[in-house]
Amino acid sequence: MDLKIIDQKKIVFQSNIVSIIVPGIDGYFQILENHTSFISLLKSGFLECSLKNSKSKKKIQIDSGILQVYKNNVLILL
């Protein structure tokens, strides 16, 4: 699954991931491969990504954003 996190000026993070946990408006939720397509608002909190090519995790703090899932592509606009 491909992840791209973009702010107003640049690509903040881009990687191939296994899963991501995000702070939704109603609480944290997880996205795995082959997840159904949808759009969600994000609130302040941490994104936690499990990277595909290593067993490490990446944590990124955000203030708010919009998340889109479509055909194993996750796009987050900050």
Predicted TM-score of the model (pTM): 0.94
Is pLDDT of 11 > 90?
yes
Which residues span the domain enclosing 25?
2-77
Question: Can you give the pLDDT at residue 35?
Answer: 96
Report the domain count for the chain.
1
Please tell me the predicted confidence (pLDDT) of residue 10: 96
pLDDT at 5: 98
DSSP string, 9-43: SSEEEEEEEEEEEEEETTEEEEEETTPPPEEEEE-
Q: What is the CATH number of the domain that holds 72?
A: 2.60.15.10
Tens of pLDDT, residue by residue over 22-62, are 999 999 999 999 999 999 999 999 999 999 988 899 999 99
